[in-house]
């Protein structure tokens, strides 16, 4: 038996040997161990008999070492959470058929339809493998195959699971499996939105999800689960783009995976601030890089509605970012994304055009970065990454040569400025009372405007003491007074 198993798992196996002599380790734990010797912390055990009662009794016998979690009593499924420094989750379920072989054949994919008895596993590891569907060979060949032609009709979510395994394992999908997908797409919308969300994010979380997303697109899977994106297909763009709106958005995902790591992950100290930021999980199991890919898929979703041709014949998309945001918000609500996830992605979509102002100037303005920082906070890093990906995915004839490299240099400078601004803000050099006394003002919007202007100048290092603050406030006050006089004269 592998030495990595903690004592509590040994106890559980001994208990199962008495409660359910026909107990088998099945599914992902077997697959992962055979593919690379990885011992999973999430185990699935199939038993002859009532898995629910077996799990409950085992939990009672383990006492404080285990927590019993009821899942589905009718189907004989329950969960044990085994305590320790690194908790282990064990799902125990009844055979789906009369025997372990019948159970395995009813599973989704061949690489998940392998088993080893608990008794053999304890003594021989994975030597005595039960593999009725040829999963071990498919594991070697790195291919996703279904156990039966009825796999998708039994559970249409398995359509998405096929792509999830292709992305997470780096496998290809068997041609016969791809042929089974179209007839089952119409049943996908009836699946729980949360289950669809989880499978979609599992694809997006993979380091190389673009090829799988492209397969999903070609198989019209997105049309079934996110119909809001369908109008993007075939929607032509202007001379700055070489692809239609949908293919451009997919290409932006590819850029997030290939261009952003090469251009931006090297920023900052060893380890890379950008890389760490994108790997963080605002919600467990859903890293920020997956959210960034969602933003890439939706950032131009509003273009079909906003598209028009001006009198010169040029195609334009004024206000498309606002329409894109609204479309995303509809989908986010349906898929039940967490509020903080929705808010972050919506900000990126709404603001994805804003960094373009950086390219309009020869140098990066600290004031402009401060304003972006005030609006986006730490998520300005994600906005810059999305902007670079958007730019890399736009290679039309009007796009200036070398623009990507120039943009990257400016973005790196902007991120250095932004990193300085993440420090706690300094104490204001003047307060509201100071401003009112200096200019004889009463409380009102003008006082607030002066204080905001001073905060920008102080954050950008343009003023650093009280006298400089008073001088800047006086200049701003005169500007506002001049504007009021001009309006009254007019």
Sheet containing 77-82: order of strands = 66-72, 77-82, 88-94, 42-47, 23-26, 115-117
Q: Which of 106-110, 214-218, 458-462 bottoms out in mean pLDDT, i.e. has the lowest?
A: 458-462
CATH 3.30.460.10 residue spans of the chain: 1-141
Locus of tokens 């989704």: 108
Report the distance separating Cα 433 and Cα 430, nearest Å: 8
Spell out the alpha helix ranges (H) of 125-244: 135-141, 151-154, 158-169, 175-180, 193-204, 210-218, 221-225
Domain 1-141, CATH among 3.30.460.10, 2.160.20.70, 3.30.70.580, 3.20.20.120: 3.30.460.10
Taking CB atoms within 8 Å and a gap of at least 24, the contacts of 452-455 are 454/428, 454/429, 454/430, 455/425, 455/428
In the chain, ranges of CATH 1.10.110.30 domains: 143-225
Decide which of 3.90.100.10, 1.10.110.30, 3.90.1150.10, 1.10.620.20 is the CATH code for 143-225: 1.10.110.30
Least confident of 90-104, 274-288, 320-334, 452-466: 452-466
Question: Model confidence at 402, in pLDDT bands (50, 70, 90)?
Answer: confident
Percent of the chain with pLDDT over 70: 92
pTM of the model: 0.84
Report DSSP state, residue 41: S
Q: What is the pLDDT of residues 145-191, one digit of tens each?
A: 999 999 999 899 999 999 999 999 999 999 999 999 999 999 998 99
Per-residue pLDDT, averaged over 238-249, amounts to 94
């Amino acid at each position: 038996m592998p030495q990595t198993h903690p004592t509590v798992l040994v106890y559980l196996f001994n208990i199962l040997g008495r409660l359910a002599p026909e107990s088998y380790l099945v599914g992902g734990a077997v697959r992962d161990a055979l593919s690379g010797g990885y011992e999973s912390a999430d185990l699935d055990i199939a038993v002859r008999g009532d898995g629910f009662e077996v799990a409950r009794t085992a939990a009672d016998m383990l006492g404080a070492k285990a927590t019993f979690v009821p899942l589905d009593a009718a189907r004989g499924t329950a969960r044990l959470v085994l305590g320790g420094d690194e908790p282990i989750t064990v799902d125990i379920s009844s055979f789906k058929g009369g025997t372990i072989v019948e159970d395995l054949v009813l599973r989704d994919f061949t690489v998940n339809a392998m088993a080893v008895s608990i008794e053999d596993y304890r003594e021989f590891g994975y030597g005595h493998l039960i593999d009725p569907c040829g999963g071990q060979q498919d594991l070697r060949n790195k291919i996703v195959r279904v156990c039966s032609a009825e796999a998708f009709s039994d559970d249409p979510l398995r359509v998405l699971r096929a792509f999830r395994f292709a992305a997470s394992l780096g496998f290809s999908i068997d041609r016969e499996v791809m042929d089974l997908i179209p007839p089952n797409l119409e049943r996908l919308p009836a699946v729980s939105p949360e289950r669809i969300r989880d499978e979609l994010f599992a694809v997006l979380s993979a380091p190389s999800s673009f090829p799988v997303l492209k397969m999903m697109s070609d198989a019209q899977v997105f049309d079934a689960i996110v119909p809001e994106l369908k109008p993007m297909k075939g929607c032509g763009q202007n001379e700055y783009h070489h692809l239609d709106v949908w293919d451009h958005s997919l290409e932006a995902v590819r850029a997030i995976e290939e261009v952003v790591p090469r251009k931006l992950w090297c920023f900052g100290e060893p380890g890379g601030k950008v890389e760490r930021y994108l790997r963080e999980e605002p919600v467990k199991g859903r890293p920020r890089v997956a959210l960034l890919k969602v933003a890439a898929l939706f950032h131009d979703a509003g273009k079909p509605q906003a598209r028009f041709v001006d009198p010169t014949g040029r195609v334009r998309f004024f206000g498309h970012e606002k329409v894109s945001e609204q479309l995303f918000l509809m989908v986010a609500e349906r898929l039940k994304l967490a509020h903080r996830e929705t808010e972050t992605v919506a900000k990126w979509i709404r603001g994805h055009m804003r960094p373009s102002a950086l390219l309009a100037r020869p140098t990066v303005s600290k004031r402009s970065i401060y304003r972006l920082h005030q609006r986006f906070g730490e998520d300005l890093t994600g906005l810059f990454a999305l902007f670079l990906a958007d730019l890399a995915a736009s290679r039309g004839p009007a796009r200036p040569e070398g623009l990507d490299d120039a943009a990257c240099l400016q973005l790196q400078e902007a991120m250095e400025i932004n990193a300085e601004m993440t420090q706690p803000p300094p104490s204001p050099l003047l307060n509201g009372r100071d401003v009112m006394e200096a200019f004889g003002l009463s409380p009102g919007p003008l006082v607030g405007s002066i204080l905001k202007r001073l905060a920008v100048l102080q954050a950008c290092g343009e003023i650093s003491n009280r006298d400089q603050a008073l001088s800047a406030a006086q200049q701003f006050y005169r500007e506002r007074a001049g504007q009021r006089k001009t309006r009254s004269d007019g």
